[in-house]
Chains A and B, each alone.
Chain A
Amino acid sequence: MQSPEVVLTVPAESSFVSLVRTATAAISAQADFTLDALDDLQLAVAEACALVIADTPAGADLTVGFQVLGGQVRVDLAAASVSGRPVGTGTFAWTVLTALVDRVRTDVRDGVLHIELFAHGVGPVDP
């Protein structure tokens, strides 16, 4: 099953992270994620939000795109970056992200920092 991308745009402030988490849970449930996998993805998304938000100029938006691809969910978090640098792979945050999801990608394109997370649900996948 490949769903259309769902895009959520919120102010890049920590008080809106819970909204992104809630959306993450709903999308993961749609993709038949187990609770373990769902919680892990939520934690990863919260961590990625914190990373992105820490590097945004005041008043910026955080855009989060969700897509279900087979038993996988892809989450793409993006916001304007002040530093113009992607997330350092030697950081604790990076360890956390890579432990929680299958794959993490980060880069800066046109001044926008992206963190892309790929996770699978470990649940039963429709034959």
Chain B
Amino acid sequence: MTGSTPRSGGWSGQDRARERDLFSRLAVLAEDDPQRREVRDELVTMHLALVHHLAHRFRDRGEPHDDLVQVGTIGLIKAVDRFDPDRGVEFSTYATPTVLGEIKRHFRDKGWSVRVPRRLQELRMSITRATGELTQELGRSPTVKELALQLELTEEDVLEALDAAQSYSALSIDGTGGAGSEDDGAALVDTLGADDSALEHVEYRETLRPLLAALPQRERHIVLLRFFHNKTQSQIAEEVGVSQMHVSRLLGKALATLRGAMGPDA
């Protein structure tokens, strides 16, 4: 196990000493000591490569790498909190199952691997790929017909896969607020004003502002780009670095959240 993790390769003796030092400090710091947070943060940051490495193992399952890293990081934090350096086990060895557990739970919670047939998952991935290629080639997003031609499928197949992607997103709306959304929310309030002069002319901005601020950062950014800067989904996909299909899912999710929070009369 030790040999397969990235830290053993890239780590110097100094790093190891630092890690030992941090863990022994963490063990003696009181729960409410402000230093505790710093030490914990440093330990988490030091081991992020492990999370990336483990998340990479799930790269073909149709979930964005960033999302997996986010949930994996929760596992890492749990592992940092529970690790006992006196047991004589390497931290990376100890953390690996916890991180993997969180990532697997993410898939289970989404109901993705269970509810959507394998064939549709694969189809969805090839559509995502082809959409990216065709968008480059055509300078706009492709039509269903063009996708069907490119992938040698019927238009019904393409529609079915797009639909499956959406029902998947419907499931995730019902789930929890998403990993790390709390932290995102806090940081957002600060950035909202700077980010968006486009909101100035919106008459209900005072209602909208806190609701937008409560959205996970990426969703909020996408909502602003789409509705207040009039960017297309493909343009947003390129800017944010996710697939168009993912932009569409995030938009749908964000709108459902806003709709629920605001009510019909806002």
Residues of A within 8 A of B (CB): 18, 21-22, 25-26, 28-29, 32-40, 42-43, 46-47, 50-51, 54-55, 88, 90-93, 95-96, 99, 121-124
Contact = CB atoms under 8 A, between A and B. Distances in A.
Contact of A35 (B142, B208, B230, B264): B142
9 contacts: A32-B143, A34-B142, A35-B144, A36-B232, A43-B248, A90-B203, A93-B259, A95-B227, A124-B143
A50 to B, nearest CB: 6
Contacts of B262: 92
B234 A95 contact: no
B265 A88 contact: yes
A33 to B, nearest CB: 6
Given A25-B159, A43-B252, A35 B259 contact: no
A92 B266 contact: yes
Nearest to B262: A92
Given A43-B252, A46-B252, A91-B204, A36 B170 contact: no
Contacts of B147: 35
Contacts of B255: 43, 46-47, 96
A39 B230 contact: no
Contacts of B163: 22, 25
B244 interface: yes
Contacts of B232: 36
Contacts of A37: 141
Interface string B184-206: 00000000000000000011100
A43 B251 contact: yes
A96 B154 CA distance: 32
Given A35-B141, A35-B143, A36-B141, 13 more contacts: A22-B159, A29-B144, A29-B159, A33-B143, A35-B144, A39-B233, A39-B244, A43-B255, A51-B264, A88-B265, A92-B204, A92-B262, A93-B266
B166 interface: yes
B215 to A, nearest CB: 13
A33 B250 CA distance: 20
B151 to A, nearest CB: 13
B204 A36 contact: no
Contacts of A54: 263-264
Nearest to A33: B143
A88 to B, nearest CB: 7
CB-CB nearest 4 A-B residue pairs: A29-B144, A54-B264, A36-B141, A39-B248
A21 B164 CA distance: 12
A119 B3 CA distance: 57
A39 B158 CA distance: 14
B22 interface: no
Interface string B231-266: 011100000000011001001100100110011111
B92 interface: no
A99 B227 contact: yes
Contacts of A22: 159, 163
B230 to A, nearest CB: 7
Interface string B203-234: 11001100000000000000000111010111
B166 A34 contact: no
Nearest to B252: A43
Nearest to B156: A26
A93 B203 CA distance: 13
Interface in B116-139: 131
A115 B41 CA distance: 51
Contact of A99 (B167, B226, B266): B226
B155 interface: yes
Contacts of B140: 34, 36, 122-123
